[in-house]
Amino acid sequence: MTFKTALMGAVASLALVPAAFAERGADGHVNIIYYQAPSTMNPYLSGGTKELESASLVLEPLARYNEAGTIVPYLAESVPTVENGGVSEDLKTITWKLKEGLKWSDGTPLTSEDVKFTWEYCTTEGGGCSQSEKYNDVVEVETPDELTVVVHFGVPKPFPYGPFVGAQAPIVQKAQFADCVGEAMASCTEENFSPIGTGPFVVDEFKTNDVVSLSANPHYRDPNKPAFATATLKGGGDAQSAARSVLETGEFDYAWNTQVSPDLLEAMLAKGKGQLVSAFGTLVERIMVNMTDPDPALGDERATAAHPHPILSDLAVRKALSMAIDRALLTEIGYGDAGRPTCNVLPAPAIYNSTANDACLTQDIEGAKAILEEAGWVDSDGDGIREKDGKKLSLLFQSSTNAIRQDFQAIIKQWWGEIGVETELRNIDASVFFGGDAGSPDTFQKFYADVEMYANNFDGTDPEAYMANWECKQAPRPETQWQGNNMPRFCSDEYDALVAEMAKTGDINKRAELAKAMNDMLMQEYVIIPLVDRGRLSAHSNTLGGVILNTWDSELWNAADWYRIKE
């Protein structure tokens, strides 16, 4: 592979439209690797990213997000809005029109009945549908004719694009899944492993947690697509071996989520077999600060609002912790080009992005020390750790097991050490940390530590539900079986009022203002310390064209447009 051909490959992959003479199946076989293997092809059974994305090769929603975060029609003719009359003035109904002549991969026509069935399928009790939240507040789905779907909401929906939009809520075939509703949902193994869809590919063979073999859908709506006749989606291994198989050995064409050390990727890229694609979404690596006391001596009231945290209740301490961090360096070490330092917990889409907190981008160790001094935290006994009223600045810092997170922990520990804060590190297996097992002391909800680090984001482009995470009532506590997303146990009437305000505001600019205000409040209270805005990073071979990385939807959203670059 000379430099010139590599360059040609890069140029060719920028061209969005493949050559006009391309026809379905002309480009042979494409190999995709996901280092976490999909366990099922039904996104309603498992909400995991790997399942959503592999299913998106087969199942499609009415509309989905493109790489810019804009909603574009897929099975629908157009995206309904208030302006074009598709969404009612009271924001309680949305009317979708299906494209004409759409067929399932078995040759039968797609009708509005299938769309209605999808809603029933996911909301019937006893099934445990993982995407039921998408259908929240839907009271009725009407099908006046074969191509029209009218969705009625019980409350005004300023953002009505939950149901049937995005990789999370694709349409399933009524004929196939009619007997798989409710408690029968899980027992339909055959259906769940090879759903009939409208997407570019059809499942030939599905081996759970291992490999999916697919072939082109003979009834796909564009007669010239997909360019590949067959596809393999292999799972297993780790991010590094996935990156290696594309960038170094060239065995695979596309590798999902190749998030490994930037140094390593650079060395792999030098082989000239492939390239990296990255794009930014809403994923933020952050440190959560516990506002409640996790002291084991408190028994049942441990880490609950009954006892404020002895040292972290002091704003000065929280602020100093944030100031001592060099976010640019963290980004460089951990994520390279696939990350950028951020001072916001809500970094995107652009209209929601606040600039009020950008001072945190520069590390200020001296400033942090000064703030602590001023607040009365001084090192009186000369052990290098500050104290006040007999309380030492000593923290337990937990995170999930992940090489980059452990590196981050070590560096942050050092910076905090420089400002006189002692840190003990702990890493917890992800299956325990992110699990909601109320019996385990190590979950991120229980937060039996002083600070914890993980990443979170939200689906799609609307931050309303995400910002509502830090409402007072969302705090995990024994009464809620420790469920809830308000890890810092942040509690402010002012904030709750903003959340309520946003729920009834339809105007996009006002919504943006509210979201920014909420973000700024969290940032200036320093209950969340954002570190890095993490992009998606995937790799594809130089011979695979048409890849457009999309962080708002499935990465494989445009697999129909992928093609082989001829050398």
Partner 1 sequence: MLHFTIRRLILSVPTLLFISLVIFLLLDLAPGDPMASIPLTVPPEVKEKMREALGLGEPVHIRFLNWLYQFFVVEPQVAFDHIFGTDFSEGKQRIISFQSRSPVMSVVAERMPQTLWVVGLSYVFATLIAVPIGIFSAYRQYSWFDQLGTFISMVGFSIPTFFSGVLLIVVFSVILGWFPSIYDTTHTITDWGSFWFQVKQMAMPVFVLTLYNAAQVSRFMRASMLDNLNQDYVRTARAKGLSERVVVLVHVLRNSMIPVVTVIALGVPNIFGGAIITEQVFQVNGLGQMLISAIYASDAPMVQTLTFIFAVLIVLFNLIADILYGILDPRIRYD
Partner 2 sequence: MTDTTTAAAIPSEKPRNQWWDVWDQFKTHKGAMAGLVFFVFIILAVYLGPLLWTIDPTHIDIRARNTGPSLAHPLGADQLGRDMLARMLQGGQVSISVGLTAMALSLVLGTFIGVLAGYWKGLDGLLMRFTDLFLALPLLPLLLVIIMLFRDPLRSVFGLETGIFILIVFVIGITSWMQAARIVRGDVLALKEREYVLAARSIGTSSGKIVVRHILPNIMSPIMVSATLGIANAIITESALSFLGLGFPPDYPTWGRLLFDAKDFIQQYPERVIWPGLAISLTVLAVNYIGDGLRDALDPRIRGR
Could you say whether residue 201 binds partner 1 (CB under 8 A)?
no
* Tokens standing for residue 250: 């060239």
Q: How far is the CB of 77 from partner 1 (least distance, A)?
A: 28
Q: What does the angle CA 432 – CA 434 – CA 257 come to, to the nearest 5 degrees?
A: 115
State the residue for tokens 């939009």: 165
Q: Which residue in 89, 418, 429, 567 binds partner 1 (CB under 8 A)?
A: 429
Binders of partner 2 in range 293-322 (CB under 8 A)? 296
The footprint of partner 1 on this chain (CB under 8 A) covers a number of residues equal to 69
* Of residues 239, 255, 201, 203, the one with CA closest to residue 40: 203
Determine contact, residues 129/123, Cβ cutoff 8 Å.
Answer: yes
CA neighbor of 452 nearest in space, from 294, 227, 339 = 294
Nearer to partner 1, 208 or 505 (CB): 208
Question: Nearer to partner 1 by C-beta: 71 or 98?
Answer: 71
Token duo for residue 145: 């004719």
Tell me the C-alpha distance between 565 and 546, whole Å.
Answer: 9
**3-class secondary structure, 198:** coil
| Total of residues contacting partner 2 (CB under 8 A) | 29
Applying CB under 8 A, the span of 1-9, 258-266, 325-333, 429-437 interacting with partner 1 comes to: 429-437
User: Which of partner 2, partner 1, none does residue 109 bind (CB under 5 to 8 Å by kind)?
Assistant: none
Distances in whole angstroms, Cα of residue 156 to Cα of each of 366, 451, 506: 50, 38, 9
- 394 touches partner 2 (CB under 8 A): no
Q: Measured between alpha carbons, how far is 399 from 406 in angstroms, rounded to an integer?
A: 8
Near partner 1 by CB under 8 A, which window of 97-105, 240-248, 374-382, 498-506? 240-248
List Cβ neighbours of 155 (8 Å cut-off, separation of 6 or more).
92, 137
- Is position 69 an interface residue for partner 1 (rule: CB under 8 A)? no
CB 252 within 8 A of CB 547: no
Q: Which stretch binds partner 1 (CB under 8 A): 13-21, 31-39, 288-296, 506-514?
A: 31-39
Q: Which does 543 bind (CB under 5 to 8 A by kind): partner 2, partner 1, none?
A: none
* Interface pattern 237-266 for partner 2 (x via CB under 8 A): ---x-------------------xx-xx--
DSSP state for residue 103 in the 8-state scheme: B
Distance of alpha carbon 430 from alpha carbon 451, whole angstroms: 16
Q: What are phi and psi for residue 441, nearest 5 degrees? A: -80, -10
Under the binding rule (CB under 8 A), the answer on residue 78 touching partner 1 is no
235 contact choice in partner 2, partner 1, none (CB below 5 to 8 Å, kind-dependent): partner 1
Q: State which of residues 49, 224, 313, 394 lies at the interface with partner 1 (CB under 8 A).
A: 49
Which CB, 200 or 460, lies closer to partner 1?
A: 460
Query: Which of partner 2, partner 1, none lies near 409, with the C-beta cut-off 5 to 8 A by kind?
Result: partner 2
Give the x-and-dash track for 467-496 against partner 1 (CB under 8 A): -------------xx-xxx-----------
- Pairing label, strands 451-456, 394-400: parallel
- Binding partner 1 (rule: CB under 8 A), the pick from 67, 77, 113, 248 is 248
Does position 53 bind partner 1 by CB under 8 A?
no
Query: 255 is in the binding site of which of partner 2, partner 1, none (Cβ under 5 to 8 A by kind)?
Result: none
Q: What are phi and psi of 370, to 5 degrees?
A: -60, -40
Q: What does the block give as tokens for 406?
A: 């452990």
CA distance 406 to 390: 30
Residue 411, H or E segment = helix 403-418
- Range in contact with partner 1 (rule: CB under 8 A) among 66-74, 89-97, 234-242, 526-534: 234-242
Please state the closest distance from residue 398 (CB atom) to partner 2, in A.
Answer: 9
Whole-number Å distance between alpha carbons of 141 and 160? 13
**Binding track over 406-445 against partner 2, x by CB under 8 A:** xx-xxx-xx---------xxxxxx--x-------xxx---
Find the shortest distance in angstroms from Cβ 476 to partner 2: 18
- Asked whether position 230 contacts partner 1 by CB under 8 A, the answer is no
CB of 482 to partner 2, least distance (A): 15
Amino acid at residue number 175: A
| Residue given tokens 């007669």 in the structure block | 223
Q: Which of 9, 107, 115 is nearest to 60 (CA)?
A: 115
Alpha-carbon torsion 172, 176, 180, 182, what sign?
positive
Nearer to partner 2, 261 or 485 (CB): 261
| Binding to partner 1 in span 165-184, by CB under 8 A | 183
Q: At 239, which helix (H) or strand (E)?
A: helix 239-247
Cα-based distances in Å from 25 to 218, 229, 384: 10, 4, 68
Q: Where do contacts with partner 2 occur on this chain (CB under 8 A)?
A: 240, 260-261, 263-264, 267, 296, 329, 333, 400-401, 403, 406-407, 409-411, 413-414, 424-429, 432, 440-442
Residues lying near partner 1 in the complex (CB under 8 A) are found at 33, 37, 39-40, 45-49, 126-133, 183, 185-187, 189, 192-193, 205, 207-211, 213, 232, 234-238, 241, 244-245, 248-249, 251-252, 429-437, 439-443, 456-459, 465-466, 480-481, 483-485
